Amino acid sequence: MAGKDVPVSPLAPKRQPKVPPVPGVRFATAEAGIKYKGRTDVWLALLDEGTQVAGVFTRSKCPSAPVDWCRENLKQGSARAVVVNSGNANAFTGLKGRESVALTAKIAAKAAGCKPEEVFIASTGVIGEPLDATKFEGVLQDCAKRATEGPWIDAAKAIMTTDTFPKALTRKAKIDGHEVVLAGIAKGAGMIAPDMATMLSFVFTDAPIAAPVLQALLSKGVKGSFNAVTVDSDTSTSDTLMLFATGKAAARGVPAITEIGDARLSGFKRALNSLLLELAHLVCKDGEGARKFVEIRVAGAASSRSAKRVALSIANSPLVKTAIAGEDANWGRVVMAVGKAGEPADRDTLDISFGEIMVAQQGARAPSYDEAAVSAYMKGEHIVITADLGIGRGNSVVWTCDLTKAYVEINGDYRS
């Protein structure tokens, strides 16, 4: 199904935001013929000298070769180039996969005028197929010559697989009274159940922030964003989220930030977390075949950690998700998902609501239950389900989408 014409998700933004340039970042896209024909499938970003980098990656025990490469090079904390291709994940490809990454880095380093270890690489697409890195010969050199400060939407399009719309966002923040800019892109629609981060996402800023501070901000920021969304409960081998800071805002008077406890970081932190959350939501809204964006809230749990496990149990339940697709407020399936989570729960204290409508209360159907009202609510695009366990103070929120026939159609012939 990848690469074939599919309808744009009804949950896609009605208009694409205009993402401004990030000083110190230039990029270009190209058609390398990795898998798709007649569309861009490789993106090269060039970063000015001094760019700091942070990243979080899949915790899969079968990570891709690019993930291994990035993890190793992240230790130095600096970056000069990023190469991303779609159509082939270069995962489960053994020695050939590692050689392919090394060759890609060598080609990119020559094009960017830097060392191979300053190149960060990500790949997305089919698992288990060798990636022919020789296809990047000439292509990356040409990209380097054509690299400009935009438009970001081109970069977002080049890294798509089964995505139905490109995902690019921006935020502005102030550090010590001076403005800095953030820009982020993401791809992802299926195989989404983050355990780090998820899919591929790249965020850039001109703020002068040291790598250890970036890492701390990113590692914390994913907890309530990328690590709180799920489409199908499957964690990719290639999950990569990286944050780059060029430091160019220093020329405008922005002070260098070298400590995570610096109070001047507060505005930047809010902007970054907001950007990560919206990017994560866009991935959910582009879930393969998705027609409903679903917010699962769990309250009254034994702990926040327990609440999140219960929330994910609900969000990942095929029975809950198909009921939502059918616009059926089948709260019995929510009860089932709470009960199977393996977390402390008490049937007789459990309350469940769909939106503001109480459907179950104290372990039974709510006396005020109104079938017509809840049926009307289920026809909306944004569904909120709240489960209050009534046994503690732990709470959590995760986001997911419904499960439709289109998901099976997309994934039934993904390799063809």
Token pair 């060039």: residue? 46
Which one, of 152, 162, 171, 299, lies nearest residue 232 by Cα? Answer: 162
CA dihedral sign, ordered 405, 407, 408, 413 = positive
Residue 288, marked binder: yes
Please tell me the distance from the alpha carbon of residue 79 to that of residue 135, in angstroms, as a whole number. Answer: 23
Which one, of 275, 309, 31, lies nearest residue 168 by Cα? Answer: 275
C-beta of residue 16 within 8 angstroms of C-beta of residue 153: yes
Report which DSSP code applies to 92.
S
Residue 237, marked binder: no
DSSP string, 246-285: --GGGGGTPPPB--TT-GGGHHHHHHHHHHHHHHHHHHHH
47 bridge partner residues: 25
Question: Is 198 part of the annotated catalytic residue set?
Answer: yes
Which one, of 330, 22, 373, lies nearest residue 170 by Cα? Answer: 22
- Helix (H) or strand (E) segment spanning residue 244: strand 240-245
Residue 164, marked binder: no
Q: Could you say which of 29, 164, 198, 404 is catalytic?
A: 198
Q: Is 221 in a helix, a strand, or coil?
A: helix
Residue 137, marked binder: no
**Residue 128 burial by CB count (10 A; 0-12/13-18/19+): exposed, middle or buried?**
middle
**CA 119 vs CA 321, 395, 407: distances in Å:** 40, 40, 35
Please tell me the distance from the alpha carbon of residue 317 to that of residue 301, in angstroms, as a whole number. Answer: 19
- Most distant pair of Cα atoms in the chain: their distance: 70
Residue 371, marked binder: no
Residue 198, marked binder: yes
C-beta of residue 378 within 8 angstroms of C-beta of residue 328: yes
Token pair 């459907």: residue? 359
Region of 48 (left: φ > 0; alpha: ψ -120 to 50; beta: rest) is beta
Active centre residues (catalytic): 198
